[in-house]
Structure 1
Amino acid sequence: MPTPTHPFRNTESLLVVIPDDRIDVEAEAQLYDELCDDQISIRPSSRPKSPQEPPSIFSRDIWLNDNSGASLAFARNVHIAGWTSVGDKLGGAYVVYDCVIRTKEDTTIHAHKRYSDFVLLYDALKHSLPKHQHHFIPALPPKYPFSRYRAAFLDRRRRQLQYWLSAVLLHPEIGACQAVRWWVMD
């Protein structure tokens, strides 16, 4: 069995390890306090002063709680497991997609949706979201009435709808809107 080697053995010039006894914690804390005081004195008057909202030491326009990565969307994972044709092709058949949505609480929701349901969600998002968020909604795959029952076409559309649904449901703001929740639970 080979002996383990130190992972940074050949990187002395790229990595500097400072021993704990050479770090002056008091000086670091004082420097941080001075930087915070400087930022508070140049804080824009339009932002409210809040003790929970310390300024960034890198920019006067960026605050530590901006874009912290907290998503309001309820979904963690989205995929379309498959599709099935319902009814007789001559008597009004249609295709249903099995949308599998895993929530942040680890609950799995199976929503069975037709292509027209995706169109309804698209329209609801366009009408309910502010104009500046419309560019986050991708275009739906086009409708092809003559190919709609071919397996190759349906599998390609399944993948396209999965991309579309993931982009909508996993978006941190759009995925939390009421139109999305109604669509999933309908």
Structure 2
Amino acid sequence: MQSSPQSSSAHSHFSSRPPQNDELLVLLPNKIDVEEESRLYDELAEEDEDVNEPPALQSPRGPPSTYSHDIWLGDHVGQSSVFSRDVRISGWTSVGDELGGAFIVYDCAIRTKEGITVHAHRRFSDFVKLYHTLKHTLPHHLLHFIPPLPPKSPFARYRPAFLDHRRRELQYWLCVVLLHPEIGTCQAVRRWVLD
């Protein structure tokens, strides 16, 4: 089939053949509707909620190694110097007014080997600072163990679905960092938790 002659319609730039199974044609409007974008993000975040849930890093035998299913911190000979036993981000709250500079604070509940739970209230920018500090202070052979932080989303940053999704991603990130046998013992991590 030949394509139709050019006209003023939106379909004039496309072939008149029917779309194949793996093709999807989406016409975008000339402007972005921020409310519609936020609503779609909320729907997608709810659909992905169960699919992308990171695996739990707690077990009856103690926290597993994040790099092997067969190695457990309790199996190591000698005493581990990692002070964290379990890491959860139990929730988040908005502080301030959205128009006057509101920000989100996450409640990081970190249980130590002694069974004491430390609550560290941290903003996303605090996670970013720790990430950069670790990238600049750790030995080169440990840098690839630090996962990337979740991306920013300026349009959805105060939406509950986005914040809950980010909370789960930050919890996974913090587990990987704090429960790592070498990274979890560094001074930058201890300061971040206890300050």
Match of 1:121 among 130, 134, 142: 130
1:112 aligns with 2:121: yes
Match of 1:162 among 153, 167, 171: 171
Shift of 1:71: 2.7
| Secondary structure, counterpart of 1:140 in structure 2 | coil
Q: Deviations over 1:49-102 (max 9, x none)?
A: xxxxxxxxxxxxxxxxxx647532100000000000000000000000000000
Q: TM-score, normalised by structure 1?
A: 0.63
Name structure 2 gaps, 5 residues minimum.
1-75
Q: TM-score, normalised by structure 2?
A: 0.60
1:85 aligns with 2:94: yes
Equivalences for 1:2-151 in 2 at 5 Å? 68=77, 70-151=79-160
Distance of 2:148 and 2:194 partners within structure 1: 22
CA contact 1:71–1:173 (8 Å) conserved in 2 = no
Q: Deviations over 1:23-70 (max 9, x none)?
A: xxxxxxxxxxxxxxxxxxxxxxxxxxxxxxxxxxxxxxxxxxxx6475
Distance of 1:108 and 1:134 partners within structure 2: 28
Distance of 1:69 and 1:123 partners within structure 2: 31
Larger radius of gyration: 1
Deviates more, 1:69-78 or 1:156-165: 69-78
Name structure 1 gaps, 5 residues minimum.
1-66
- CA RMSD in angstroms, aligned pairs only: 1.1
Q: Which residue of 2 aligns with 1:180?
A: 189
Shift of 1:159: 0.1
Change (3 A) 1:69 1:115: farther
